[in-house]
Copies of this chain bind each other. A is one copy, B any other.
Amino acid sequence: MKTTVGVPLDIVGYLKGMKIKPSLIRVKVLDYLIHKRNHPTADMIFKALAGEIPTLSKTSVYNTLKSFVLAGVAQEIKIENTEVRYDVFTNVHGHFKCTVCGSVEDLKLDAYNITSDDLEGKKITEHHVYVLGFCSNCNKKKNKKNI
């Protein structure tokens, strides 16, 4: 029997459970998000799927992602103002973006809290944390140069 670690094996069933009709495009996009785990832009998804779905339009990718966000299947990650990235793991976690190579990673937040008197009277619906810097790879390269 197969096992899994927090990733829905049955993407069609998962989408149905989220009240999203599992069209080919939607299944492919969700499959991409889940298995690539690379926090892609809409354009990255489009380019990756255009091969297997020759008639795919970019608008469809945008539509699909919008419906995912609306249904809580995916979330938008806004770090740069020039691009929105997408993530399927919607539990509370942060994101790290490398300012050199542009890669985005999840950040499991072992300890994380925001407390502030300024929140008095407000109703919080979302909170986001993102960190910028050099990823392990780019940091290594940088250090070599400085020897």
B121 and A136 form a contact (CB under 8 A):
yes
Which chain B residue lies CB-closest to A137? B121
Inter-chain CA distance A118–B139, complex, in Å, is 14
Chain B residue contacts of A142, Cβ below 8 A: 123
Question: Does A116 contact B124, Cβ atoms closer than 8 Å?
Answer: no
Specify which chain B residues have a CB less than 8 angstroms from the CB of A124 in the assembled complex: 131-133
Contact A134 B122 (CB under 8 A): yes
A106 CB contact (under 8 Å) in B118, B122, B133: B118
- Other than the given A119-B131, A121-B139, 12 more pairs (CB < 8 A) read A78-B78, A96-B118, A107-B114, A107-B118, A107-B119, A111-B114, A122-B139, A123-B133, A126-B132, A127-B129, A128-B130, A128-B132
The chain A residues found within 8 Å of chain B, CB to CB, are 76, 78-84, 94, 96, 99, 105-136, 139-140, 142
